[in-house]
Structure 1
Amino acid sequence: MQTNIEGKIPNSNVSLSPDSDLIAALQNILARSRMIIPDLETPYSKLPSANHSNIKRDDSSISAVITERQQQLDAVSHEISDLETIMDSVKNHHQQLVEKKEKIIQSMNFHKGLVSVLWRLPTEVLAQIFHHCLPDFRRWEHAYSWPCLKREAPMVLTRVCRRWRDVVVGIPSLWCKLYLRKHRKWEQAAFCYNLWLKRSRGFPLSLALNCYENDATTLRSLLQPYTNQISSLYIECFQGANAERMWKDLPALQELTIRANRKLPAAPQTVSRLPFTLRNLKLVGQFVGPKRLSSLNPIFAQLTNIELAVHQPNALLHLLQLSPNLSSLTIGIGPGLLRRALQPFTHVKLQSLRIAYVYDCTLPKLFNALSLPNLRMLVAPDSRPWPHEELKALLARSNCPLESLISGNGATTDEQRAEYIALIPSLEVVVDPKYRDYLL
């Protein structure tokens, strides 16, 4: 039922405004609804179950009952209509009050902020705080994809107050990391991604992509205006993806991580044409054989950090030979057979060697072949038996400034650890069942 401009129900004395009138009208309806239901019994009420022949019927009397019932029905229907109108008005009024309450709270919080220490903090201090609010992007597989991004910093910070929004939007470095994927609502997702990337204002970008079949063209088109900014790229490739397009022609690229559960036939050619700015290369989820190492040869000389898996220790030594400037290596060594004896090799710049896994008894042979005079961190997997004598010989031969030796639980004994420290007094030996965390 519609109400007029004064808030009254047409043909009714029920008023819907202001608040006190609305409440009074509702109370009036409720009071009337508590009236005792009249006795509706008549001499004819039991007629269907009685002996019809014994009851005298007076048509005029029955008509009077029907007329009375119609009047009662009209009155009750009118009350129901009034009550429904009141209920609709109460519902609408409740929504208005909720909105009013939210605006009051926002205004109150805003004015509280004026006297808050946070309001008086310099923009530079707020910027540092906001950077600590960002999600942890060190492991891209835990990054947040759209639309969850709007519930994380920096997006969520823009909705706190006007000043915070101005500060957050004005700090390009808060918008330099982003996880993208081909979303089913692509137009909406692309708009959000593009707005995010524009706010980076030319700063170096660290991006992560999920690339399925035919996704590369769409994602590459989105990123085309920002290719000169991309310094770090993590890309997860799935079956049928033409992912090679994503890491071509990126003149500022310094770090590339390719995660794939299959061999990418074109990867060696496209990776070998990467810019000379590249310093970090990670190939995850596949073994790299000798032929592929050779195809990647042009870029190894410039790399300082590598993470990949090889089939056998010979490939590891070949990798070290191809990478004279390497300072950090995370390596997995597969179950491939040794085709020839490991030749002694010295790498003078390697500071960090993290061995994710190794098969058979190759760890002692590897320790016997290597000399690493600049080694500062060694992470080694459990190996039974542990190559204690071979590691001691490596440390003595290298005369390295080793600072940390990290292994899995039970790999070394107290006596063995004491011997390592005797060789290098400043050495910290860590036995940790979660030693794999140090591989990240």
Structure 2
Amino acid sequence: MQTASSTVRLSPASDIIDALQNSLTRSQAITPDLETTYPRFTNDPIIESKDRTVSAITERQQQLDAVLHEFLDLETVMDFKLHHQLVEKKDKITQSMNLPKELVSTHWRLPTEVLSQIFVHCLPETSHFSPAPKLAPVLLTRICRRWRDVAVAMPSLWCRLELEVDHSDWQQQAFCYDSWLKRSQGRPLSFAFKCYIGQSTKLRRLLQPYRNQISSLSIRSYCGVAIPEPLLINLPALQELAITIHSHDRITNIAHSISTSQLRFTLRSLKVIGSMLGLETLSSFNPIWTHLKNVEIATRHADAFIQLLHLCPDLSSLTIHAHFDQKQAVEPFTHSKLQSLRISFSSAPTNRLHDLFNALTLPNLRVLEAGFARAWPHEEFKALLTRSNCPLESLIFSTGVITTDKQRTEYIALIPSLEVVVNPKRYQCFNLL
């Protein structure tokens, strides 16, 4: 035990200064550029390999060892400020090593199954995807080699495509689309594209190798351009078809072409947007209606609505925009399989909705949504529920429908398990015109 009179051996001042200078010189020589970070994800197709990352970690470890060695060299000349600086350097080096360690332990070791699930959740919330470099799934192939391998091997990422045929280099576009479609690996395909003048031939040639895979097709016709009917009738696997067209004559021609093709046996869902369909146009689609499960159309006539139910005995879901602008005698009709009915009316003061409710009996109805019905026929709707004795689960009042608390309570009294939703901002599928 040392006392106040004990002697302590101290190095001469010149030796201390020399030791400090030598230590600082060595410290500067080995101090790494701690602001330099490890490689992060970039837009380049391939980043530095795992081996280079591990090599960088080894280099950092050597630097850390050198700093720790400085502590031993300076035991006799320890300065508080210098000690503080060394501690900071050590902490920075340790912190800089954390990122690559995490990258090695998670990014490189993440199971393919987990990575695949993450990729699915990265997809845009749209029905079809465009090959944009900054959006999934293309973006996923530009992160690193492993991500690219996993994404390219997932056919579910490449089964929905939005085609845009513009006036740029078509060969480059076609190569891009073809590369995308090859990654689907024979899975069912869903397409959405727009028809412009002089482009239908290009589309047919592009899609020809994949026609047996196409199960869903959405076509928009602009500026009076005819929809390529040969493309429609030469799709043996097509089950869903959506057409946006504003020409009544062309709708009739398309209906005739489809009704005489193989599509009358395969088609299960039909959506016609932009044109009002009457009894004559509905008849021109025969015999397609027989096998349809889902339909979305617009019509001006209540009798056409009832006729559609007659033509579609297997119909499960119907979305219709109605513009009943005149009083018509509607014959009573029972449809035993219809489960979902979404109906939107025009803004006309008299929408004749009560005539329709008086005629219908829907014993299997589970979901009903109504929009733009200014004069809601409360008593007629109650009679429909009573007459149908249906297992209605969800009743949705959307834009333009005004009901009272008392009326909604009466509906729940008829069907206690019924959920009534009032959402004036909802605009579900009511954009047919």
TM-score by length of 2: 0.73
**Residue number among 244, 248, 255 corresponding to 1:259 in the alignment:** 244
- 1: CA distance between counterparts of 2:196 and 2:303? 34
- 1: CA distance between counterparts of 2:103 and 2:335? 60
Query: Does structure 1 residue 430 correspond to structure 2 residue 421?
Result: yes
1:36-435 alignment, distance < 5 Å: 106-107=47-48, 111=53, 112=100, 114-138=103-127, 143=128, 145=130, 149-184=132-167, 185-238=169-222, 239-263=224-248, 264=250, 265-272=252-259, 273=261, 274-338=263-327, 340-358=328-346, 359=348, 360-408=350-398, 411-435=402-426
- 1: CA distance between counterparts of 2:422 and 2:404? 10
| Residues 346/335 of structure 1: CA separation in 2 closer, same or farther (3 Å cut) | closer
The aligned residue for residue 68 of structure 1 is none
- 2: CA distance between counterparts of 1:378 and 1:413? 17
Shift of 1:106: 4.2
- 2: CA distance between counterparts of 1:225 and 1:200? 13
- 2: CA distance between counterparts of 1:118 and 1:426? 48
Shift of 1:361: 3.1
Shift of 1:320: 0.2
Q: Is the 8 A contact 2:342 2:369 kept in 1?
A: yes
- 1: CA distance between counterparts of 2:130 and 2:391? 42
- 2: CA distance between counterparts of 1:425 and 1:335? 32
Q: Is the 8 A contact 1:216 1:245 kept in 2?
A: no
Query: Alignment identity in percent?
Result: 54
SS of the counterpart of 2:287?
Answer: helix
- 1: CA distance between counterparts of 2:342 and 2:267? 21
SS of the counterpart of 1:107?
Answer: coil
CA RMSD of aligned residues (A): 2.4
Shift of 1:117: 2.3
- 2: CA distance between counterparts of 1:382 and 1:250? 37
The aligned residue for residue 81 of structure 2 is none
- 1: CA distance between counterparts of 2:185 and 2:151? 13
Q: Is the 8 A contact 2:324 2:351 kept in 1?
A: no
Q: Is the 8 A contact 1:327 1:349 kept in 2?
A: yes
Residues 211-268 of structure 1, C-alpha deviations (whole Å, 9 max, x = no match)? 1122111101110000000000001112123432331211111100001122314211
Gaps of 5+ in 1: 1-96
- 1: CA distance between counterparts of 2:342 and 2:379? 19
Higher relative contact order (CA 8 A, sep 6+): 2
- 2: CA distance between counterparts of 1:295 and 1:271? 10
| Residues 366/335 of structure 1: CA separation in 2 closer, same or farther (3 Å cut) | closer
- 2: CA distance between counterparts of 1:195 and 1:306? 33
Q: Is the 8 A contact 1:169 1:199 kept in 2?
A: yes
Q: Is the 8 A contact 2:323 2:351 kept in 1?
A: no
Shift of 1:297: 1.8
Gaps of 5+ in 2: 1-35, 54-99
Q: Is the 8 A contact 2:133 2:139 kept in 1?
A: yes
TM-score by length of 1: 0.71
- 2: CA distance between counterparts of 1:106 and 1:166? 14
Q: Is the 8 A contact 1:260 1:286 kept in 2?
A: yes
SS of the counterpart of 1:236?
Answer: strand
Paired residues in the alignment total: 334
Shift of 1:325: 0.3
Shift of 1:108: 8.4
Shift of 1:298: 0.4
Amino acid at match of 2:157: L
- 2: CA distance between counterparts of 1:406 and 1:301? 29
SS of the counterpart of 1:179?
Answer: strand
Shift of 1:335: 4.1
Greater shift, 268-277 or 177-186, is seen at 268-277
Shift of 1:152: 1.2
